Structure 1
Amino acid sequence: MTQPADSRAGHGRDAPPSWLNSAAHRPEREACMVATPAAGSGTEPADDGSTAKGVGLRSERGPVLAAVMLSTGLVALDSTIIATAVPSIVRDVGGFAQFPWLFSIYLLTQAVTVPIYGKFADSLGRKPVMFVGIALFLLGSILCGVAWSMPALIVARALQGIGAGAVQPISMTIVGDLYTVAERARVQGYLAAVWGTSAVLGPLLGGVLSEYLSWRWIFYINLPLGAVAAWMLARHFSERVTRSRHRVDYVGACLLTVGFGLLILGLLQGGVAWPWTSIQSLTILVVGAATLGAFIVVERRAADPVLPLWVFSRRALAGGSLTAVCIGALSAGLNSYLPTYAEGVLGTDALVAGFALAAMAIGWPLAAGTSGRIYLRIGFRDTALIGSVVVISGTALTTLLRPDSAVWAVAGAAFVIGVGLGLTTSPILVSVQSVVGWDRRGVVTGANMFSRSLGGAVGAGVCGAIANATLASRLTPHAPAQAHAVPEYLDTTSLVLGGQSGSVPPEAAAYVRAALYDATHHVFITLAVLAVLVLGALLLMPRRSSHLSFE
């Protein structure tokens, strides 16, 4: 699950909030703007010197904020709603070996397009970029809903991610344009509540729609909501834009996308579609690594890079980015395979699996909300270290899950992990912001969120590779229990997903459940290893962070 930036981030005496200086809005390069409400709105203009040069706004802030919250909710919802629908999707269109792409491609395309949209928002205005993002997101939703195969669904999810890459940061930028520094703490709380609510409702809503309607409705539901958000923005939000030119690092964005895409492809298909030591596998992995090497070279020379490499040159920043990568990978792996375990191994329906996964989404914001009081007393790193120990405990509980475990045990483990992540992510984000001045806080905040998204994309691929390799070794085409099953043996998992096991012989269902348990168990062990890596990354950070010195 992706969490919003801490609402206190960057609200020190010497600086406005850090998310104002985001990849989509860099006030250190811009002068002041005055936000003016529409006539008769009764709202005073915001003029705190924080808004962008040449952009004049005439807006009724309430309806605009409602539209922004609705748009943000759609993006947040689609990050989690698909998790409990995966078993139903696999049962319908097949492609169990490829389903981690549904998470990876969405996170990857969203991450690499955020800075590009930010440049366009500064030069063309927020409104047209927001409309493009909503349009692409809704088009992707339509294509997801009519997808006839797993590859078609993966392509549609990529388009969704490209749209989400505009909606999330531009929503935050519009809020920065409309509200004063003092007001933003309250408004940021509203947006954080949207993320928290969406994270809880996503798995549950996905389970309900999959169980009682069709998994396709988890995408169709976006259409009326997105249309309402676009209509409200068109009606109530206006701006004057002095167009300017910004350099956009298209080459860097393309190299990053292709490089990580090839690595994920190699991880998911190696040992399944072709042997690990085959020419295909080695070529894909080597080309992917070489592309990422070329990305580093390009970023060193780029005037305005997608990912500034200096953010990895200090202990605090490098440790924070590594922590974010591990947390993103852990969250993606859990979202991908916990519902699969609940439905495929324990035999629950999608709704019950949604309740189990929602426990993590409940624990995360609860802990994040209290982390501020803790890190003000004992410091950022020590608070995050406590959270990492809790995460390790939660992932250890998942490794103890058995083929006959109770659903409450699954939910309990997820809740513990959520509490640990809530105690870890917020302090780390505020910590990396505290080691730089106001003019660089947006860059390090964006880099930290960027690292988490990329970690999620790669983590889903790694967990998918582990699960696929386990199933490939267990579900051989020559296994007696599989003699009657479909030839593509990894897709025999559909026999026990979505409540379908009653239609197959009991011995075949038991055989597939056992193989699926082995696969998910190995994924849970991987999550425990990632939790330990979170602890190791935190230990790389200095105990105390200050913007006056880099340790």
Structure 2
Amino acid sequence: MVDNALCKERKATRRPFVLAAVILAMFMGAIEATIVSTAMPAIVADLGGFSLYSWVFSAYLLMNAATVLIYGKLSDIFGRKPVLIIGILIFLVGSFLCGLAGSMEQLIFFRLLQGLGAGAVMPIATTIVGDIYTKEERARVQGYLSSVWGISAVTGPALGGLLVEFVSWRFVFWINLPLGLLAIAGLLLFLHESIEKKKPEIDFAGTFVFLVSISCLMFLLVEGGSKFPWLSGPSALLFAAAAVAFILFIWIERRAASPMMPFSLWKVRSILIANIVSLTTGVMLIGISSFLPTYVQGIMGESATVAGFTLTAMSIGWPIASTLSGKLLLSIGYRKTTMLGGVSLILGSALFVFMSAESGPWWAAVSSFFVGVGMGLTSTAFIVSIQNSVQWDQRGAATAANMFMRNLGNTVGAALLGGVLNSRLQAFLQSQPNEDVQSLSVDSINELLGGEGHRLSSEMFHTLQEGLAGSLHAVYVVVFIFAVFSFLFLLLLKKGE
């Protein structure tokens, strides 16, 4: 039976054009996830500050994670269209300013602004599809949507590499501008909602304490073991602040009239597991997309274009699996579909663990492909299951909650894995017997990635490569551990689901 709101919308809304606008909006998210990663070695070479590498991702993801639930709630109150358009506009302003950045610190600040707008794009675009299609159509259309998103993302790494090599890294941000404007035009012209506006009840207190908690945790994970020891006063203070703020967040959410995180939705077993696995796969996704180009360029010695193509393999596996996921959900069920995805995630991450400089870019590409297949199978199944479990007035919040958990995984992952990279690299350099090598720092990687390794002695160059390779290997071990956790959680789904 079709929702009343759905019936009203279908009378006026032109679904093919709205779907096209949604695809454009999600396309921005697709290239944002890959094109910036491909450009990061060039950005570091130009602006310096390799020690701040992970903050370029963490700043964006922090604001994304902090606002995604608010946007989901606002869309349930004011409708999807106005909230999504405002989010896209903020995202475009941030993208434009990122392209003008003159230092790593400026880029990180503008990425905060970009993330503020990005919080609206992915969850509300996905929710719109859930609104304008029936339950029977959602599995097929969400599969197509993920497929189109993935196919669009194929161009991201390749385009990023080409822009870096032949134009400028700044255009990896400016390419969002025409896409976003076209998406806004499509939404304005063809999406017509019929909603009952409610008095806005925004959980500002919950949002604030969550932001404090995640910021303290991120700072601890990125700088711990590098700027200050893990067992030290600053580490203890940051951990205590994060824990207290998170406990306060839960306390506020349980008493808020309109909570940022509706914990009642988590009582449904399939939604609970989907959200937990979205967290763990979010850590995996950011670990691969953020650091693979650095490995391919810094360790394998390949160009930015080749590094981009290794990430493109993930974007090929994702849409193929998303299309399959929509069909498998109807034939073998939710549990078996997600289990297949979990196996693929383990296989792909295991291949990364065994990757070496001699493996070559094809090994990296195959590893990325299997991770993409795992992401496609699980993410599409999660979204369809969640949207089928709730009514229209909760669909925005429920979809946003799942996106929130993946964004939170991205955020924590960027900080955690960036911290692992920095601390392992610094420890390696300090352990070297040569005093000249000991004088190197994490930021010395700037020269390695900027093609200026000829300025270093042969010993220093190879030592930096060895240190970076070992540090990135540690990152991929952590990614593999999260893949195993994802699979173990999927085993908890009830048989027959």
SS at match of 1:82: helix
1:540 paired to 2:492: yes
Is the Cα contact below 8 Å between 1:311 and 1:317 reproduced in 2? yes
Mapped partners of 2:387, 2:259: distance in 1: 19
Deviates more, 1:94-103 or 1:290-299: 94-103
1:465 aligns with 2:425: no
1:509 partnered with 2:482? no
CA contact (8 A) 1:368 1:423 kept: yes
Q: Distance in 2 between matches of 1:436 and 1:65?
A: 22
Q: Is 1:277 matched up with 2:231?
A: yes
1:412 aligns with 2:371: no
What is the SS of the residue equivalent to 2:460?
Answer: helix
The corresponding residue for 2:294 is: 340
The change in CA–CA distance for 1:145 and 1:64 in structure 2 (over 3 A counts) is same
Residue among 454, 476, 479 paired with 1:527: 479
Match of 1:367 among 321, 329, 333: 321
Structure 1: 5+ residue runs without aligned partners? 1-13, 17-26, 36-45, 48-56, 546-551
Match of 2:270 in 1: 316
Q: Name whichever of 161-170 and 139-148 sits farther off.
A: 161-170
The residue that corresponds to 1:70 in the other structure is: 24
User: Residue 395 in 1 paired to residue 349 in 2?
Assistant: yes
Query: 1:60 & 1:432 partners in 2: Cα distance?
Result: 25
C-alpha distance 322-290 of structure 1, shift in aligned 2 (>3 A): same
Look up the match of 1:54. Answer: none
Q: Specify the alignment match of 2:34 in structure 1.
A: 80
Q: 1 CA distance for matches of 2:94 and 2:240?
A: 31
Specify whether residues 188 and 429 from structure 1 end up closer, same or farther in structure 2 by C-alpha distance, changes over 3 A only: closer
Query: 1:227 maps to which residue?
Result: 181
Aligned equivalents of 2:120 and 2:434: distance in 1? 51
Q: Which residue of 1 aligns with 2:375?
A: 421
CA RMSD of aligned residues (A): 3.1
Provide Cα deviations, 1:311-335, integer angstroms capped at 9, x if missing partner: 4445433322221111111111111
1:37-186 map, 5 Å: 46-47=10-11, 64-172=18-126
Relative to structure 1, is the Cα distance of residues 137 and 438 closer, same or farther in structure 2, using a 3 angstrom cutoff? closer
Residue type of the alignment partner of 1:540: L
Q: Which aligned pairs between 1:179-194 and structure 2 lie closer than 5 A?
A: 188=142, 191-194=145-148
- C-alpha distance in 1, partners of 2:192/2:329? 40
Q: If the length of structure 2 is used for normalisation, what is the TM-score?
A: 0.89
Q: Unpaired runs of 5+ in structure 2?
A: none
Correspondent of 1:195 among 130, 143, 149: 149
Kindly provide the CA deviation profile for residues 110-136 of structure 1, in whole angstroms up to 9, marking residues without a partner as x.
233233234444544544433322221
- For the pair shown, which has the larger CA radius of gyration, 1 or 2? 1
Counterpart residue type for residue 534 of structure 1: S
| Cα distance in 2 for residues equivalent to 1:101 and 1:233 | 33
- For 1:391 and 1:499, locate their aligned partners in 2 and report how far apart those are by CA, in whole Å: 33
**Which amino acid is 2:466 matched to?**
A
Aligned to 1:168, the other structure's residue is in SS state helix
Instruction: Summarize the Cα distance change of 1:521–1:310 in structure 2 as closer, same or farther, 3 Å threshold.
Output: same
CA 1:175–1:251: 2 relative to 1, 3 Å: same
* Superposed displacement of residue 428, structure 1: 4.3
Q: Distance in 2 between matches of 1:365 and 1:482?
A: 48
Q: Structure 1, residues 262-281: CA drift from partner, whole Å, max 9, x if none?
A: 10111001111222222222
Alignment of 1:248 with 2:199, yes or no, is no
How far 1:533 sits from its partner (Å)?
0.7
TM-score normalised per structure 1: 0.81
> Residue in 2 aligned with 1:495?
447
Contact 1:146 1:216 in 2 (8 A): yes
Read off the aligned partner of 1:533 and give its amino acid letter: F
Question: Residue type of the partner of 2:457?
Answer: P
CA distance in 2, matches of 1:378, 1:94: 51
Q: 203-212 or 113-122: which moved more? A: 113-122
Name the aligned partner's letter for residue 310 of structure 1. Answer: S
Could you list the per-position Cα deviations for residues 172-194 of structure 1 after superposition, in whole angstroms to 9, with x for gaps in the alignment? 45556666777777765663343
Structure 1 contact 357–411 (Cα < 8 Å) conserved:
yes
2:147–2:318 contact (8 Å) kept in structure 1: no
Q: 1:458, 1:420 → 2: CA distance?
A: 20
CA distance in 1, matches of 2:82, 2:387: 30
Q: What secondary structure is seen at the aligned counterpart in 2 of 1:99?
A: helix
CA distance in 2, matches of 1:491, 1:517: 15
- The answer as to whether partners of 1:403 and 1:514 remain within 8 angstroms in 2 is no
Indicate conservation of the 8 Å contact 1:97/1:268, yes or no.
no
Q: Residues 229, 387 of structure 1: CA spacing in aligned structure 2 closer, same or farther, 3 A cutoff?
A: closer
1:435 CA drift (Å)? 6.2
Q: Which has the bigger relative contact order, CA under 8 A and spacing at least 6?
A: 2
Cα pair distance change 1:368/1:439, threshold 3 Å: same
Q: For 2:325 and 2:130, how far apart are their aligned partners in 1?
A: 25
Contact 2:75 2:396 in 1 (8 A): no
When residues 121 and 529 of structure 1 are mapped into structure 2, their CA distance, relative to the original with a 3 A threshold, is closer
Q: CA deviation at 1:253?
A: 1.8
Contact 2:321-2:373 at 8 Å conserved across structures = yes
CA distance in 1, matches of 2:386, 2:140: 23
SS state at 1:81 partner: helix
Partner SS, residue 325 of structure 2: helix
Query: Deviation at 1:422?
Result: 2.8
Change (3 A) 1:217 1:119: same
Letter in 1 for 2:465: R
Q: In the superposition, relative to structure 1, how do residues 361 and 481 fare at CA in structure 2: closer, same or farther (>3 Å)? A: farther
Matched, 1:218 2:218: no
CA distance in 1, matches of 2:76, 2:375: 33
Change (3 A) 1:502 1:68: same
**Aligned-pair identity (%):** 42
Q: CA offset at residue 145 of structure 1?
A: 1.1
8 Å CA contact 1:350–1:498 kept in 2: the answer is: no
CA shift, 1:456, in A, is 1.4
Give the Cα separation in 2 of the matches to 1:303 and 1:250.
12
Cα shift readout 1:8-59 (whole Å, capped 9, x = no counterpart): xxxxxx566xxxxxxxxxx8xxx67745xxxxxxxxxx24xxxxxxxxx6x7
Range that drifts further, 371-380 or 321-330: 371-380
1:265 and 2:222 are equivalent in the alignment: no
Mapped partners of 1:353, 1:511: distance in 2: 22
Quote the residue 1:52 is aligned against.
none
Instruction: Note the alpha carbon deviations across 1:147-195, whole angstroms, 9 max, x for none.
Output: 2222221221121111112233444455566667777777656633431
